[in-house]
């Protein structure tokens, strides 16, 4: 067994962070909740141990700065998201934050500095589970977040603006979260693959080439609630039966096109009683494709199909286009940094694309961005069964540290 300099502590910290949840029996850590605050304070303590100074920006991103020789030089950002989905795994997000802290910690222990600052970032909300829009923290840092998102409400009717204020943030000062033009030299994100490729090829890590684009919609249908026993089938305006027809339409339309995927992940039927015809239904649609034209065409046809089915059933229908993120190519130069580090660590260089979305695709709107994927068991993610090995965790930190050390000019490291 190779000397695991980083893996054991990293895995212990991931376990510890994975226990910070709003739910007692599973990991759910939605943004601007007490669990988010508790996790943020724990990560902040680890950042301080690693020699960083920390701040929380106006949208709830935690940022740990490891100063460089020139404090005014454009910073290298490393990180991922601290929020999770519901009933999540413990590695999706935190692996990218904690591996960044560990790499900086190793520099700090040697007293090594890069010519420029390193900012490790725990983004406040990447999943977009509580408020259907996503990449809140990374978009705010890039200055690309549309303030209209602050009106979006969660299931309890709380607006994003109110949730953020209650958390100590300030939507009215959104602009202060944005890094100034040219002040970010690049962004690196370590993340579990959430797919089967690395495991199938027995690779611990891989370099991401591109991230497919994604569209999200929220569909609201209004029919007529009624007595399940007395309303003849031909007289009904059943919102849930209509949604069922629409969901199968989405499935068929996406299955017909290679590389296009479509998911209805959430549905709420009101009033939700066994003997009441559902009068109102809300459901979400998530469309992804590597090609933005294919995704755009699918989104238009899904909207038309839903509207056609609603009309045929006498249902009122509103469709909110909550989120559109174009596909993103990872920066070649940063991919080369990662490839050089892999070779220096004696590891094979493997490239692969990402089906999942990541903060890196939002960060790519304002700086060169790249990702290092880490193998995860059976590709399982967004599931408590998500798992990685201590050896692969160790590799991730070693590769990241190698990238950082390679950025120290030879004369400085002598
Ligand atoms: O949905 C995604 O692809 C990511 O996990 N947020
Ligand atoms: Mn993620
Ligand atoms: Mn995720």
Kindly give the number of the ligand 1 atom that is closest to the alpha carbon of 288: 3
**pLDDT level of residue 133 (50, 70, 90 thresholds):** confident
Assigned token pair, 206:
């891989």
Kindly give the number of the ligand 1 atom that is closest to the alpha carbon of 355: 3
- State what percent of residues in the chain have pLDDT above 90: 96
Angstrom distance (rounded) from CA 264 to CA 247: 7
Kindly give the number of the ligand 1 atom that is closest to the alpha carbon of 382: 5
User: What ligand has the least distance to the C-alpha of 134?
Assistant: 1
* CATH architecture, domain defined by 7-211+327-407: 3-Layer(aba) Sandwich (3.40)
- The number of residues in the chain equals 414
197-243, pLDDT tens digit by residue? 999 999 999 999 999 999 999 999 999 999 999 999 999 999 999 99
Environment of ion ligand 3 (residues, CB < 5 A) = 92
> Which protein residue's CA is at the shortest distance from atom 4 of ligand 1?
357
243-282, pLDDT tens digit by residue? 999 999 999 999 999 999 999 999 999 999 999 999 999 9
Domains of the chain: which residue ranges?
7-211+327-407, 213-325
- Going by CATH, does the domain composed of 213-325 fall within 3.30.70.360? yes
CA-angle at 302, arms to 300 and 307, nearest 5°:
100
Dihedral of the alpha carbons of 262, 268, 273, 278, in degrees to the nearest 10: -70
Q: Buried (b) or exposed (e) across 56-92, using 16+ Cβ within 10 A?
A: bbbbbbbbbbbebeeeeebbbbbbbbbbbbbebbbbb
Angstrom distance (rounded) from CA 405 to CA 413: 9
CA-angle at 134, arms to 131 and 138, nearest 5°:
130
Q: Does 356 sit in the ligand 1 pocket, CB within 6 Å?
A: yes
128 CA distance to ligand 3 centroid (A)?
9
User: What local confidence, expressed as pLDDT, does residue 409 receive?
Assistant: 87
Angstrom distance (rounded) from CA 21 to CA 94: 13
Q: By 3-state DSSP, what share of the chain in percent is helix, strand and coil, each rounded to 5?
A: 40, 20, 40
- Write the DSSP symbol of residue 331: P
Q: 3-state DSSP call for residue 207?
A: strand
Q: Is the per-residue pLDDT at 1 higher than 70? A: no
275 CA distance to ligand 1 centroid (A)?
36
Mean pLDDT score of the chain: 96
Dihedral of the alpha carbons of 80, 86, 91, 92, in degrees to the nearest 10: -40
pLDDT, average across residues 37-55: 98
User: What local confidence, expressed as pLDDT, does residue 414 receive?
Assistant: 58
Q: Does 127 sit in the ligand 1 pocket, CB within 6 Å?
A: yes
């Amino acid at each position: 067994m190779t000397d695991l300099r980083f893996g054991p502590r990293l895995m212990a910290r991931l376990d510890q962070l994975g226990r910070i949840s709003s739910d007692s029996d599973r990991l759910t850590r939605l943004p601007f909740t007490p669990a988010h605050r508790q996790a943020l304070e724990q990560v902040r303590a680890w950042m301080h141990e690693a020699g960083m100074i920390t701040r929380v920006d106006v949208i709830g991103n935690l940022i740990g700065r490891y100063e460089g020789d020139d404090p005014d030089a454009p910073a290298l950002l490393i990180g991922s998201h601290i929020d999770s989905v519901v009933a999540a795994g413990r590695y999706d997000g935190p692996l990218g934050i904690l591996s960044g802290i560990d790499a900086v910690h190793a520099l700090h222990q040697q007293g090594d500095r890069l010519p420029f600052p390193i900012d490790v970032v725990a983004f406040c909300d990447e999943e977009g589970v509580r408020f259907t829009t996503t990449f809140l923290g990374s978009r705010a840092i890039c200055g690309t977040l549309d303030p209209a998102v602050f009106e979006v409400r969660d299931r309890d009717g709380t607006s994003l603006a109110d949730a953020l204020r209650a958390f100590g943030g300030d939507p009215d000062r959104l602009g202060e979260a944005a890094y100034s033009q040219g002040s970010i030299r690049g962004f690196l994100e370590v993340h579990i693959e959430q797919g089967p490729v690395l495991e199938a090829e027995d690779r611990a890590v891989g370099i991401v080439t591109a991230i497919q684009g994604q569209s999200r919609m929220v569909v609201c249908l209004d029919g007529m609630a009624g007595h399940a026993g007395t309303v003849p089938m031909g007289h009904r305006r059943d919102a849930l039966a209509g949604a069922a027809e629409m969901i199968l339409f989405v499935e068929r339309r996406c299955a017909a096109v290679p590389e296009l995927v479509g998911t209805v992940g959430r549905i709420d039927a009101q009033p939700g009683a066994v003997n009441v015809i559902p009068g109102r239904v809300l459901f979400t649609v998530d469309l992804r494709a590597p090609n933005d034209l294919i995704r755009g065409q699918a989104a238009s046809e899904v909207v038309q199909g839903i509207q056609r089915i609603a009309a045929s059933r006498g249902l009122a229908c509103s469709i909110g286009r909550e989120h559109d993120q174009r596909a993103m190519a990872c920066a070649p130069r940063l991919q080369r940094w990662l490839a050089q580090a892999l070779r220096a660590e004696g590891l094979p260089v493997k490239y692969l694309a990402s089906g999942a979305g990541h903060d890196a695709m939002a960060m790519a709107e304002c700086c060169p961005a790249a990702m290092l994927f880490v193998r995860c068991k059976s590709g399982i993610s967004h599931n408590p069964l998500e798992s990685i090995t201590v050896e692969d965790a160790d590799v991730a930190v070693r590769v990241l540290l190698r990238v950082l050390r390679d950025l120290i000019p030879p004369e400085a490291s002598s």
